[in-house]
């Protein structure tokens, strides 16, 4: 596996900047969900780091759950529309104030499918919190209630986001130089 320094084009969002913004989002969510039954749902696997850091800044009692989806057509860097539920929630969301926590909204197809799926289970409310918004690439309109950063149309990695499943552990968001990156065999 390559050392990320080889293909890192630039550090788009340094670790400290991520943490500062996540603390702000946590405060906002704590204020808005006062008196509600906050249930944060994280989409595996990209959203894991974000959820873990975000929940440390949510000062209200709340619960969490996880789900996983896969886009049709594996290996593709772009989603094509419908997604398949690869791992369902553990708990019922009926009457809960659901906040969907995502790493990135790109075309918007993933989040749209997940919202449709969750709505069929009648949560009391349903909102979206995404760390990154690649707004330029949007193909379907998505309601985003909490947004960490709007980023340019570049492939990014780190802080939960992967490059062929690796490099999720890095504490910053970086962009890839495609001429230098070699995918694993």
- Kindly tell me which residue out of 26, 46, 148, 158 binds Mg ion, with binding defined by CB under 5 A: 46
46 binds ligand IMP (CB under 6 A): yes
What is the Cα–Cα distance from 129 to 147, expressed in whole angstroms? 6
Q: Under rule CB under 5 A, how many of the chain's residues touch Mg ion?
A: 2
Does 100 bind ligand IMP (CB under 6 A)? Our answer is no
3-class state of residue 164 by DSSP: coil
**Beta pairing partners, 126:** 98
- Tell whether residue 158 is a contact of Mg ion (CB under 5 A): no
Per rule CB under 6 A, is residue 161 in the interface with ligand IMP?
A: yes
Question: Residues 74 to 113: which contact Mg ion by CB under 5 A?
Answer: 103
CB of 59 to Mg ion, least distance (A): 26
CA distance 105 to 102: 7
| Cα–Cα distances in angstroms (integers) from residue 153 to residues 13, 113, 127, 132, 136, in the given order | 14, 22, 24, 11, 6
- The answer for 4, left when phi > 0, alpha when psi is -120 to 50, beta otherwise, is alpha
* Count of residues in contact with ligand IMP, rule CB under 6 A: 15
The continuous run of DSSP H or E covering 86 comes out as strand 83-87
- Nearer residue to Mg ion within complex by CB, 32 or 155: 155
Among 101, 107, 133, 146, binds ligand IMP (CB under 6 A): 107
* Binding footprint of Mg ion on the chain (CB under 5 A): 46, 103
């Amino acid at each position: 596996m390559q050392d990320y320094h080889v293909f890192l084009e630039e550090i788009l969002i340094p670790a400290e900047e991520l943490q500062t913004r996540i603390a702000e989002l946590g405060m906002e969510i704590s204020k808005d969900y006062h008196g509600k039954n906050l249930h944060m749902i994280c989409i595996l696997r990209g959203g894991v780091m974000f959820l873990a850091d975000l929940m440390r800044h949510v000062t209200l009692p709340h619960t969490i759950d996880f789900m996983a989806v896969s886009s049709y057509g594996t290996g593709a860097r772009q989603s094509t529309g419908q997604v398949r539920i690869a791992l369902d929630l553990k708990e019922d969301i009926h009457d809960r104030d659901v906040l969907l926590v995502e790493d990135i909204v790109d075309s918007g197809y993933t989040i749209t499918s997940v919202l449709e799926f969750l709505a069929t289970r009648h949560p009391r409310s349903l909102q979206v919190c995404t760390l990154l918004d690649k707004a330029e690439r949007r193909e379907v309109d998505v309601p985003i209630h909490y947004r960490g950063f709007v980023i340019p149309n570049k492939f990014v990695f780190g802080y939960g986001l992967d490059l062929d499943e690796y490099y999720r552990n890095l504490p910053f968001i970086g962009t890839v130089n495609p001429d230098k990156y070699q995918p694993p065999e």
